[in-house]
Amino acid sequence: MSRRVCLAGGAATPFDYPMHLEPESMIANCIVETQHDIPDFHLRNLQFMVYSHFSVHFGKQLAPEWIVHDHLGLVGVPHFRIENGGNTGGSALYAAFLAVKSGMFDVIGVAGWETMDNVSQSQGSEFIALASDTRYEALAGGIYPIYYAAMAHKFMKENGLTEEDFALAAVKNRNNAVDNEKSQWYRGEYQQYKRDLTIDDVMKSRLMSYPLKRYDCCLMSRGGAFCLITSEEWAKKHADGRYVVIDGAGLSSCTIRAGDRLNFPGWTEMYGEGYPDMTEFAACRKSGEDAYDMAGIEYDKALKSIDVAEIHDAFSSSEVQIYKALHWCNKDNIREFVREKRTFMGGDLPVNPGGGLMGYGHPVGATGIMSAVECYYQLTDLTPKKHRSSKTYVKNANTGLVNSHAGTGTSISNFIFRRP
């Protein structure tokens, strides 16, 4: 049996747009906060650094991880940067997971950030669209909300869903974020509302791309996050009671252009003709199944086996699509699953109690790490200390799922965390 890998501490900065903190200071802050939770953790423990940063466009700085790394004093310590679209954070975690699993390292720092507030929102949208095929979709005026909307439109029709069904996820995650003072929603727009967001608010918000409105979409952010990926031996000795075991890890891929996956041989031979079409996230299903297999979770019992999840709600619609890809519901019961609010606090599988991308924010390179850290807080009972109250604390959670998602579903990772 190969050795087990743990997440043994971590923290995120507030996420905001704009925010006034340079990347090296963001990561420094996160490390200091991690040391408050894990007093045994010292900079000298770090044997390898995996950096997680998506777009060098935002900072007009190539290899920005070099700035962060030497600022932390870590010269000589091996480092590299992972860039994998919106799944950059999840992919960095995956790389660190592999490195500990291999036996090469015992303590790895994973540090990510994005500085999207360096440009205007519409310019930022266009920058991100450079991660679609610029020879085709991006030139045609496409940006990610538009691609996702085209996929969501067909998904909505084929699964008997409505705009209001999607809006439930938008409302849930933003209202969860109110309990998290680091979240962009709480720091920003919530200060005007001072009340729970409603379905009506979502329905009345401005059209982004039908069926998605402004509140169906995640936020553009500046922010950073850090976590420690360690061997179980190190975690037991230095982070007793403050670590989780990564019992499952999956990473999968799909086409860059959503229109290329209607008949892709790699998928049709695995899952049958007509899958994933432009409606399903096949890479989410595959990486989820791989993580479930590793963790010994049967697909049809996944919903019962998982107690809390932090997933990549770049759009309200994609959160719902992810429910299906992860086998929590199927075409026959997806409507009831959504309408019965099974993923709200108090439901059988609370999703995004940390606020998710729609509530907490989405500084791409930091996002997947933030999701992992939020899930870790739940499973180590740190949530009541980290959030404003215990309202978003899932008591006695034993198993958590973390999901990170890129492109039009082009790269997706899933992790299963468990209490030791």
Partner 1 sequence: MSKKTQKAPEKKPAPRPEPAPKKAVDPRMHPIPLKVEYDDKHTNDFRGDVKEVGFHFAGYEWSSKEQQLLIDLHYDQLYYWKLAELSKMGRGFLDGELWGTQCPRCGDKFFPPRVNCWRLDEELQRTDWVRLEPQGHVHTFTIAGWSGKSSLKRLPFVLAYVVVDGCKTAIANELRGVKPWDPEFKMPVKVVWAPKEERRGVITDFHFEPADGWKPGPMNPEKERIKELCAPVYEWVKTLK
Q: Which stretch binds partner 1 (CB under 8 A): 117-125, 172-180, 296-304, 357-365?
A: 117-125
- Residues β-bridged to residue 226: 11, 111
User: What stretches of 199-300 adopt beta strand conformation (E)?
Assistant: 207-209, 212-213, 222-231, 244-253
The 3-state secondary structure of 19-75, one letter per residue: CCCCHHHHHHHHHHHHHHHCCCCCHHHCCEEEEECCCHHHHCCCCCHHHHHHHCCCC
CB of 234: closest distance to partner 1 in angstroms? 32
Q: Which stretch binds partner 1 (CB under 8 A): 4-12, 204-212, 239-247, 349-357?
A: 204-212
Here the tokens at position 238 are 């230095």
Residue with tokens 């082009």: 410
Q: Pick between residue 256 and residue 284 the one whose CB is nearest to partner 1.
A: 256
- DSSP class per residue in 118-159: GS-HHHHHHHHHTTS-TTTTTTTT--HHHHHHHHHHHHHHHT
Q: Pick between residue 103 and residue 266 the one whose CB is nearest to partner 1.
A: 266
Distances (CA, A) of 295 to 57, 220, 236, 281: 38, 33, 20, 21
Q: Pick between residue 70 and residue 133 the one whose CB is nearest to partner 1.
A: 133
Q: Pick between residue 279 and residue 380 the one whose CB is nearest to partner 1.
A: 279
Distances (CA, A) of 264 to 58, 145, 260, 271, 322: 33, 23, 7, 11, 20
Name the burial class of residue 74, with classes exposed (0-12), middle (13-18) and buried (19+) by CB atoms within 10 angstroms of its CB. middle
Binding mask 258-287 for partner 1 (x = CB under 8 A): xxx-xxxxx-----------x---------
Total interface residues for partner 1 by CB under 8 A = 46
Q: Pick between residue 125 and residue 371 the one whose CB is nearest to partner 1.
A: 125
Q: Pick between residue 41 and residue 267 the one whose CB is nearest to partner 1.
A: 267
CB of 264: closest distance to partner 1 in angstroms? 7
Which residues from 126-185 bind partner 1, rule CB under 8 A? 126, 129, 133, 135-143, 145-147, 149-154, 157, 163
Q: Which stretch binds partner 1 (CB under 8 A): 253-261, 287-295, 324-332, 346-354?
A: 253-261
- Residues β-bridged to residue 228: 109
Residue with tokens 């009340």: 195
Binding mask 36-75 for partner 1 (x = CB under 8 A): ------------------------x---------------
Interface residues toward partner 1, by CB under 8 A = 20, 60, 120, 122-123, 125-126, 129, 133, 135-143, 145-147, 149-154, 157, 163, 206-211, 213, 257-260, 262-266, 278
